[in-house]
Structure 1
Amino acid sequence: MKKIGIIIIVCILVCIAGGSFLAIHLIRNVEFSETSIVREPLNYEKTEAFTSVHLDLTSMDVRIEKSSENAISYRLQDAKKQKQEYSVDHGILTVKETISNKHFVGHDDNEVIIYTTNDSLVVNGNLVAGDVEIQNLTMKDSRITSVSGDISIENSNLNNSTFVTTSGDIEFDGQLTGNNSLTTTSGDVSVENIDNVSVSASTMSGDIEIGDNEFSGSVNQVLGSNNATLTLNTTSGDIEIN
């Protein structure tokens, strides 16, 4: 009986040792997998002059801003599974992201920054999981859509432009000319410092605030003179206009 007991104890110790070895092996594999990812640094490359931008991005955030030269910079989370290409042809800057692995999951490190010397750009594009940030520009005849990203437009002018996101928020601060639209399904819409515009706002399950006044459902109101139009729509979010 003593021998049987000793054998059982030995078996238990072997199992514990084997489990510890397996755990260490898995941890080392995870560490190796993480460190084996090649993250590109944020680079900076000058480009030819352009007046239009076309975006086709899956996991990358994009920022567009006024600068003293035309350039592009970008960073990829995993250079082995992602590829970012750009070209300028007939004044159109095309930026495209390609994912080689369908199981790839995006990361906050993925970003592309576009610098332009122009005061005004035509920007069209589709994003899946990326955010959009635009600063100090006039966007004319433009349309940008994002599935799960936020859209932020700061100190800019919209001229006959449309921005759409499904589950992200939209923020706008600037001036308006022509007909413009900001639409989200489950996000909030916030608009700052607008005047001389006819506003049409609607939401199904959120609140609408225009200054100190609160509304529900839908509202049409002219702020200043009727020089431009702005349509704001959200299904389950709030709309705030200041």
Structure 2
Amino acid sequence: MELTGASAIVTGGASGIGAATARRLAKRGAKVVVADLKEDDGQALASEIGGAFVKVDVTSTEEIEAAIAKAVELGPLKALVNSAGIGWAQRTIGRDGEFSSAHDLDLYKKVISINLIGTFDAVRLAATAMSRNEPDENGGRGAIVNLASVAAFDGQIGQAAYSSSKGGVVGMTLPVARDLSAVGVRVNCIAPGLIDTPIYGTGPESEAFKAKLGESVLFPKRLGVPDELASMAEELVTNSYMNAEVIRVDGGIRMPPK
């Protein structure tokens, strides 16, 4: 799928995997809307790649619509990459047998709201805009890539909320791809493994911790880098025969219980 002259949206695009993806799509000729809550980083990246920044909380339908409106101003919306998300770790029950110490239900709902519902909201709205595009020679009008996690398959102790949300992203891939085939919009999903993003911090202790984590990867024994994920996102956007797939990009890791 050709991106030159088209627009793209990357949610969570101001840092990490999202930023790397925004850079790759811009190099392919897209005008990229960086949709994120981080205004300074988002504005800086948008200026760097010749795109635009829109402040977006993915739990707000109105803010997602604003990002889509900005993208359509720049060119026909051909690509959406959903990279926005949060993590949370808490065991399902506490140690004292009290209801009050069980997993915080509001935090569970928050993770689902951002990671799963926010992803689907962006998908349904962006796909609606894509359906208005003129089809290419393959009948294609756009492509969507959603970021899940290996936690969708190998959820660790304490990851009930996170794994539930990412499992939902995996689960929507095929039915949504089937829905959108009628208008020539492809849908794929990436399940990243352990990726070196700012969540791990910086400094010698952080580097030692990341090196220890890397030992659990099959090969290569290190954390992945954002551009390795962005490379797959670019392929899934531009390869017109990739559809309805969930691809692990994880160095072969299978996460242990803890």
Alignment TM class, shorter chain as reference: under 0.3
Q: Which has the higher contact order (CA 8 A, sep 6+)?
A: 2
Relative to total residues, which structure has the larger helix share, 1 or 2? 2
Task: Give the number of the structure whose residues are more often strand, by fraction.
Answer: 1
TM-score normalized with structure 2 length: 0.26
Greater Rg by CA: 1
Give the TM-score, by structure 1 length. 0.27
